[in-house]
Homo-oligomer: A and B are copies of this chain.
Amino acid sequence: MIRIGVLVSGRGSNLESILKSTGSGPIKGARVSVVISNRPEARALRVARRYGVKAVALPPGSDSPDRLGASLATILESHGVTRKEGLVLLAGFMKVLPASFVELYRGRIMNIHPSLLPAFPGLNAQGQAIDRGVKVSGCTVHFVVPEVDAGPIIIQKAVPVKEGDDEDSLSARILRQEHRAYPEAVGLFVQGRLRIVGRGVQVKK
């Protein structure tokens, strides 16, 4: 059984797609053991509790990178999300993880980003896409490396940008694909089908 820790900051819609897929869902062999938010008021914590999953707000003063890494590692390990066998999912977590934490959980941290990376890294990817006038965008699930939005890519899903789209309508269309892509990526991980090779990810049959 792979134990998953999900790091959140916001409303928790990607968290919910993961919660629906694991545990008693279609992804056998994994369950979410803990959800951790840097914001105590994050709606995602309520989502976690609704699914009967432990929801933890980071203690005040966890803001420095060193403290953030230490706090996360402590909470994750104490819920069985170990650096040897666990899986850490970033689901709208708005803090940059310290490199030491990323190294500790190397190859066991995933993030989802609302663009087809390497296009539009960083904040507000959907707004960047609208401003640039692209006709195709999408989402990317990738392993996390210390450099932001630069890790090996597991899954990407494309969506059209339609005439008259604004940031909100494009975000909604991308989000529907995020809710498919993230559980797919977790499923591949749980089945042992992902192998990081160089800057890429090989998906075994």
Which A residues are within 8 Å of any B CB, using their own CB? 116-120, 131-136, 138, 140, 152-158, 163, 198-203, 205
Contact, CB under 8 Å: A133 / B152: yes
Q: Collect the chain B residues with CB atoms within 8 Å of residue A156's CB.
A: 134-136
A118, B133: Cβ atoms closer than 8 Å: no
A-B contact pairs, 26 of them (CB 8 A): A116-B116, A116-B119, A116-B134, A116-B136, A117-B134, A118-B119, A118-B120, A119-B119, A131-B199, A132-B199, A132-B200, A133-B152, A133-B199, A133-B200, A134-B156, A135-B140, A135-B153, A135-B154, A135-B155, A135-B156, A136-B138, A136-B157, A136-B158, A138-B158, A163-B203, A163-B205
CB-CB nearest in chain B for A181: B135
Rounded to whole angstroms, the CA-CA distance of A123 and B118 in the bound complex is: 16
Question: How far is A153 from B160 in the complex, measured between Cα atoms in Å?
Answer: 13
A156 to B158, CA, bound (A): 11
A157 to B134, CA, bound (A): 11
